[in-house]
Structure 1
């Protein structure tokens, strides 16, 4: 099985970070698979037509279809494509993304059953979603984590004289970027020279809200916009604490990358995060939308070197399981490649 059609959001624009199709697809290509992609159309209706047309055009050539599956409008792409795959007698594998996909199961139970009960496998990057799907009766769930190439994430020596916060995500309401500003505001009282850098594209206009809040609080925050991965990795050397402020989450690659880089991670305790981070062992988990709790956690990292070093070391050891050299073997199994 060497020819794969990968269905997902293959856009490359200023309002989105790299998607699953843009990370996993090229990695599979390096292993000898021939990957066809759909779709890079910006218009949502044209994107759906392109996905369906690509299935019809290539169904005699491809061995299997991978479908990035999300909880919002993209869920319907997965539904339509999966049902065309059934009509064309092509095996397909949905890849489950987004911490809010569990709510989609309850909102659209019939459509969910049509997609997930008829697939070859359903691949979950997190144990959180695997357990959630199994809890409602889906049996064919495989856990294959998100992946990185660990060698691309060098450790750096960092000073911890004051908080230098790094936030990397799309500016979107579900990721609650305003919380980062409120945390920074509290830290400035104790550390007047503290800094915050926020990296990522503006997905839904939230960046303007964040900038207005920063201006109101008289805070100087660095906004970089969307950066290539190698650029934000280089930028990360200047910072010493990574904060993840989201209200919904699965297993975000940006947090895995921060752990690999040796940045102590503080995250809201939502969705799949407790499956990724063990509290006070390889990171710190706090309740969502609680700036006081998150800022206190930052202070504990700055002041307690023993605790900080333990978190960093344990996190770096944990993320070895996400290295592509290990994860690819799981994909070979899912794709029936020995």
Structure 2
């Protein structure tokens, strides 16, 4: 059973899809779960549609054009809010969207919780911490989804509380069907961007396929790297066994996980990726790079197999282990299902409600 948010009005500030990246998905899921738990939620998108639409075609100008509309939406929404939940990221996103949201909350005398989720946090803070800290000091607190980000904030003497990413166990759950008679199905479920290095996963599959010719690879996601990745697939003569399915809805993604035998993640930079959490809950063994916060999210040889980044040969070796060692595969699945429980809304909602209550108390708002 989840916590009861029925006495709270929340302004949720964050990105909407498209693009449907991890933060947009978490924002949408949080809104739905808060409403299902009784909260009144007003959503302000940091990437609202441009009005008029042609402004979207004008770089730089479009950002300046969006800012006044964004700030106006914030100011109006804050009027009835008990607490503001701000989904924050690194870089220009912080300066253009997070900082204004915090200072407007100060103007309205409303408590704002900064839910920081930037994978490039350490580099960004090293460059801009003085400016970032001036805004964070106006907030009621900082919450982060992972130990990794908490450690980054600790380096800059800023306290934070871990509120894990949210998982919907009604959507992501293991398949009950026998997969042994089907092709050995590998999946990649990351955006097709350079930092996720999907090319390494493709090269690992290229090594694996000659020894296990019934294997197939499905790549779910979109992004600027798709043409280069499709060219790599063609160059390696993998066109018949590698399928690009584009961006999927949450329910389509859940179905893809249930069809999979292994999930590959070869990212070069990462924090606490939802895709790994979803794979754990779906009973899919994970082979992942060990970058950023991933070793703090999953544990090598317990609920995942971790390798150094940009090493297709090492991913291939772990694939061979999973294919030939059923006991290893079953151990990873069982431990992964147990690990995923800490991301269930029934657990996360209790932590989040406490954070809301503490933030509201700082402004004298009771429930």
TM-score range, shorter chain: over 0.9
Secondary structure of the residue that 1:52 maps to in structure 2? helix
* Aligned length in residues: 334
1:282-301 correspondence runs (5 A): 282-301=303-322
The separation in 1 between residues aligned to 2:261 and 2:191, in whole angstroms, is: 20
**Are the aligned partners of 1:126 and 1:144 in contact in 2 as well (CA < 8 Å)?**
yes
Provide closer, same or farther for how the CA distance between residues 23 and 108 of structure 1 changes in structure 2, counting only shifts above 3 A: same
Query: Is residue 2:348 matched to residue 1:327?
Result: yes
1:1-338 correspondence runs (5 A): 2-10=8-16, 12-13=17-18, 16=21, 18-39=24-45, 40-41=48-49, 43=56, 44-76=63-95, 77-139=97-159, 141-156=160-175, 157-159=178-180, 163-202=184-223, 205-220=224-239, 221-336=242-357
Secondary structure of the residue that 1:38 maps to in structure 2? strand
Deviation at 1:58, TM superposition (A): 2.9
2:3 alignment counterpart: none
- Poorly superposed stretches of 4+, deviation over 6 Å: none
The separation in 2 between residues aligned to 1:134 and 1:291, in whole angstroms, is: 34
Q: Could you give the per-residue CA deviations for residues 148-203 of structure 1, whole angstroms, max 9, x where no partner exists?
A: 1223223224329864211111111111111121111111222223210000122x
Q: Could you give the per-residue CA deviations for residues 257-310 of structure 1, whole angstroms, max 9, x where no partner exists?
A: 101111000111011101111111110111011100111111111111111111
The separation in 2 between residues aligned to 1:195 and 1:255, in whole angstroms, is: 20
**Are the aligned partners of 1:38 and 1:50 in contact in 2 as well (CA < 8 Å)?**
no
Deviation at 1:118, TM superposition (A): 2.5
Q: Could you give the per-residue CA deviations for residues 76-104 of structure 1, whole angstroms, max 9, x where no partner exists?
A: 11112212222322211111113212211
**Are the aligned partners of 2:79 and 2:108 in contact in 1 as well (CA < 8 Å)?**
no
The separation in 2 between residues aligned to 1:252 and 1:231, in whole angstroms, is: 18
Q: Could you give the per-residue CA deviations for residues 41-90 of structure 1, whole angstroms, max 9, x where no partner exists?
A: 25544443333112222332112211111113211111122122223222
2:363 alignment counterpart: none
Q: Could you give the per-residue CA deviations for residues 109-129 of structure 1, whole angstroms, max 9, x where no partner exists?
A: 112212323221111000110
TM-score normalised by L of structure 1: 0.93
- Structure 2's unaligned 5+ residue stretches are 1-6, 51-55, 57-62, 359-366
Provide closer, same or farther for how the CA distance between residues 103 and 170 of structure 1 changes in structure 2, counting only shifts above 3 A: same
Provide closer, same or farther for how the CA distance between residues 14 and 55 of structure 1 changes in structure 2, counting only shifts above 3 A: closer
TM-score normalised by L of structure 2: 0.86
Q: Could you give the per-residue CA deviations for residues 221-249 of structure 1, whole angstroms, max 9, x where no partner exists?
A: 11111111111222233320001111111
Secondary structure of the residue that 1:49 maps to in structure 2? helix
Secondary structure of the residue that 1:99 maps to in structure 2? coil
**Are the aligned partners of 1:175 and 1:245 in contact in 2 as well (CA < 8 Å)?**
yes
Provide closer, same or farther for how the CA distance between residues 233 and 60 of structure 1 changes in structure 2, counting only shifts above 3 A: closer
Provide closer, same or farther for how the CA distance between residues 284 and 330 of structure 1 changes in structure 2, counting only shifts above 3 A: same
Provide closer, same or farther for how the CA distance between residues 152 and 16 of structure 1 changes in structure 2, counting only shifts above 3 A: closer
Provide closer, same or farther for how the CA distance between residues 149 and 19 of structure 1 changes in structure 2, counting only shifts above 3 A: closer
